[in-house]
Amino acid sequence: MLRRLLFASIAFCLTAILHGTSYAERHILEDERVIVSFDAPLQNAAAEVLKVYPAVRTELSRDLGWRTEFRPHVVLIKDSASFRRVANSDLFIAHAIPREDLIVIDYSRMNVHPFTLETTLKHELCHLELHHHIAAKNLPRWFDEGICQWVTGGLAEIMTAGNRSTLRDAALSHRLISFEGLAERFPADGRDLLLAYEESKSIVEYIKKEFGVSGVRGILEYMSKGEDLENAVRKSLLISPDELEKRWRSSIGERTSWVSYIADNIYEILFLFAALITVYGFFLVLKRKREYKDEEEEGDE
């Protein structure tokens, strides 16, 4: 229910942007496969969407094993302020609205590593594709997002915290979110939201590693035929979702340790250690000066 309300609010805000006072400044490029609407300065970007879309669609068909049989509408927004009115967050750089076959992209943040127009388009098109083939009630949020990160080599639609691993930190502190906790919606809090994206990617990557690409595609195929995720996992992987989660958590624990955490953060730790030594040395010098002064006063007496 909350997810439907979110999509409705995004669609409402987008309508306001597209049909508001700046509507005259918007333009459209289209062909038989895709429609692109864009702010006036983004004509070259819109032309780039038309150019790369056939290859993106072909790659996605190869990854998922499905044909794209709908015509998406891609909206390019020139500034982050307008996009924030759609996404209601500073973290997101793109949104897919499956009910409308709509993809909204904040073009001002394209080409900022690791985001490119082509990979972002593929990620969002994947969301639309999944919802065209799988009933929304059978598509957990984490699986939806995990698959879309898998087909784009790990790229999400959200700005991450640099090289810091939220997943590793959560594993070390035993704060991993359960499959069930990520089924309906993701957390609103920034750090937990990043964790939800990292977990989604990690779970699908684990399935691929342990059961192969055929394992991932098998789940998708069963779900496209009307099965929910639980039955699809049982039929494709021959284990239950609970067992899958247990094995995934165990694999995270094996890869995550305080030794690896220290190794990955060695420069920060050394900097902190040096700072502590500096502070300690400062107070030691003050102490010695005070002792020397006291000795001088005793000598004068």
Residue 128's pLDDT is 98
The whole-angstrom separation of Cα 178 and Cα 192 is: 12
- Answer whether 96's CB lies under 8 Å from 128's CB: yes
pLDDT by residue (tens digit) across 66-95? 999 999 999 999 988 888 877 777 889 999
Q: Please list, residue by residue across 130-139, b when 16 or more beta carbons sit within 10 angstroms of its beta carbon and e when fewer do.
A: bbebbeeebb
> How many residues comprise the chain?
301
Residue 180's pLDDT is 94
Residue 174's pLDDT is 86
Below-50 pLDDT ranges, the chain: 1-9, 11-13, 15-16, 19-24, 258-259, 261
Residue 7's pLDDT is 45
Residue 171's pLDDT is 87
Based on C-alpha coordinates, what's the Rg of the chain? 25
- Answer whether 118's CB lies under 8 Å from 46's CB: no
What pTM was estimated for this model as a whole? 0.78
SS (H, E, C) 129-193: HHHHHCCHHHCCHHHHHHHHHHHCCCCCCECCCCCCCHHHHHHHCCCCCCCHHHCCCCCCCHHHH
Token pair for 15 = 């309508």
pLDDT by residue (tens digit) across 241-252? 999 999 999 998
Displacement of CA 65 from its chain's centroid (Å)? 23
The whole-angstrom separation of Cα 296 and Cα 31 is: 91
Question: What strand order describes the sheet that includes 73-77?
Answer: 26-30, 35-39, 73-77, 102-106, 94-97
The whole-angstrom separation of Cα 30 and Cα 46 is: 9
DSSP, collapsed to helix, strand or coil, labels residue 48 as helix
